[in-house]
Structure 1
Amino acid sequence: MSRMHKHHVRAVDTTPFSGQYDSVNLGQYSLLNNLWGENDATSGSQTSQITSMKGSTVAWKTNWTWTGGNQVKSFANIQLNTGINQQLSAISSMPSTWHWSQSNTGTVVADVAYDLFTSNTAGGSNVNEIMIWLANVNSGPISAHYNAMGQAVPLVENISIEGHTWNLYAGSNGYNQVYSFLLTSGTVKSFKGDVYSFLSYLIKNEGMSSSQYLITAQAGTEATSGTAKFTTSAYSLTIN
């Protein structure tokens, strides 16, 4: 008599949550609601929830609506908890897959991005923020330089990384240096590639030290205003 092998799908908490700093843990990941800038809004709310988890691939969604103010209100995101707090020189690759979609109501200001932070020490304060924008919805990056029309001026144009073409912007947010990779055109709703390639570019070309520690690795949607439903059907990120 052959023995049946059952595949165990780990039970996950799919309860929706809407508190400012509510989160749910999923082993190597956490889903963070993160309404860090909600005080800039005259009204609004955001609800996030895990929808499924299979192996190292997670699916989640967030619905948000914000009125008033011109600052980012929230950054609903999946945070990686394993493999971080090591030096960039110790990392060989960060393979990731991200399939997402967003339906907007009215005029929306938002972005969809990976958001990484490095520090001088493990668990230390932020020194560099590295953003990889897969979508720019009527928004724009932090930049040290703007043209006469108020548009951010890229530090470097037409960089080819992981099969797409990017412009790199750089500037300070008042706390740390921010490097933002924005697509030269369009959006990427199905990304598969090595996120470490972007860190490698900064180490090789912009003088970022490989002795910096990667202290945060997140991916999600920064919401400024409007109403949107954001859905990730599959996301994974691993640090090797």
Structure 2
Amino acid sequence: MRRRSLLTAALAAPVAAAGAVGALQSPAQAAVWSTDDDWGKWTDGAYTVNNHVWGSGAGYQSIWANSYSNWGVWADHPNTGGVKSYPHVAYQLGRDVWNMGSVSANTNVTVPTGSNLAYCTTYDVWGNGHDYEIMIWTQYHGAVGPIGSYVADVNLGGQNWAFYQGSNGSNAVYSFLARNHTTNSWVDITAHAQWLVANGRMPQVTIGEIAFGFEITSAAGGHNFNLNSYSLWT
């Protein structure tokens, strides 16, 4: 998958001393699949789980999965600014934005905290292939920020979001940042996509890939990011 989202230079984190190296956290039982291949992927029915280590200066990252809704990564990326990886689960919808139905999702994650960390927990929703990108940040930590400029606060799916719009030079990027961070989230994906079209921000596109995962900039010293549960209603 072509990668696009970058930190703005002003938000790049300074180099910090790495903490103690953590041990790879294991799932409750032996994982069905695991790899440390940067581009490793595993298919579970209609879903694909991806390690997706792609950014410049990335460190080590391994991924395990019991299912598309229960997986995690151990990441040790230096605190140098710039996105290093986007481990995620992906689903292909393939519906026109006005006929996509009631698409929503619920997730529960466990994420680390600390001074050597910078990441966001985010949906990545694509329109017309990779021409239009909708990012929905449910939780974020450290020196991270969206592409583009702040436009307005909006209420979608009963939740408040800070909306940003911009471009990475390859595609338009629309970012919704949750005003209330949570590791147990429900998101109305249809509401976000249709709001963009109804307000003239995005043309009437076909919604293709819907991804959810962790966009990691820094995880110095090694940290676990776990998706405990994931339900996508289409």
Compute the TM-score of the two structures, normalised by the length of structure 2.
Answer: 0.80
Deviation at 1:15, TM superposition (A): 2.4
Q: Give, in whole Å, the separation in 1 of the partners of 2:187 and 2:213.
A: 16
CA 1:206–1:108 in 2, change beyond 3 Å: closer, same or farther?
farther
In 1, distance between residues paired with 2:33 and 2:107? 22
- Partner amino acid, structure 2, of 1:155: V
Task: Tell me the equivalent position of 2:147.
Answer: 142
Give the corresponding residue for 1:177. 172
Determine whether 1:219 maps to 2:212.
Answer: yes
CA deviation after TM superposition for structure 1 residue 160, in Å: 1.2
Give the secondary structure class of the aligned counterpart of 1:75.
Answer: coil
Task: Give the aligned CA root-mean-square deviation in angstroms.
Answer: 1.9
State the Cα distance separating 1:107 from its structure 2 match. Answer: 2.0
Corresponding position of 2:163: 168
* Unmatched segments (≥5 aa) in structure 2: 1-29
Give 1:52 deviation, angstroms: 4.1
Distance 2:125 2:190 in 1: 10
Query: Following the alignment from structure 1 to structure 2, what is the Cα–Cα distance between the partners of residues 207 and 172?
Result: 12
Give, as a single letter, the amino acid of the residue that structure 2 aligns with 1:203: V
- Pair 1:40 & 2:52 matched: no
List structure 1 runs of 4+ shifted beyond 4 angstroms.
Answer: none
The alpha-carbon deviation at position 101 of structure 1 amounts to 1.4
Unaligned runs of 5+ in 1: 1-11, 146-153
Aligned twin of 1:78 = 89
The answer to whether the aligner puts 1:96 opposite 2:89 as a matched pair is: no
Partner Cα separation in structure 1 for residue 114 and residue 37 of structure 2? 23
CA shift, 1:106, in A, is 3.8
Match of 2:135 in 1: 131
Q: Is the 8 A contact 1:80 1:217 kept in 2?
A: yes
What's the secondary structure of 2:210's corresponding residue? strand
**Structure 1 residues 72 and 193: CA distance shift in structure 2, 3 A:** closer
Please point out which of 70, 74, 81 is paired with 1:63.
74
Structure 1 letter corresponding to 2:102: S
Can you list the C-alpha shifts for 1:34-75, whole angstroms capped at 9, x where unaligned?
Answer: 0111x333xx2111111346xxxx211111110153210100
2-structure distance, mates of 1:134, 1:194: 12
Give the count of matched residue pairs.
202
Which residue pairs with 2:26 in the alignment? none
CA distance in 2, matches of 1:238, 1:94: 5
Write out per-residue CA displacement over residues 179-227 of structure 1, whole angstroms, 9 at most, x where no aligned residue: 000022x4121112421111111111233222x1112110000011124
Is residue 45 of structure 2 the alignment partner of residue 27 of structure 1? yes
| Structure-1 separation of matches of 2:122 and 2:187 | 14
**1:68–1:207 CA distance, 2 compared to 1 (3 A):** closer
For normalisation by structure 1, the TM-score amounts to: 0.78
CA distance in 2, matches of 1:68, 1:52: 30
- Partner SS state of residue 198, structure 1: helix
2:100–2:207 CA contact under 8 A, matched in 1 = no
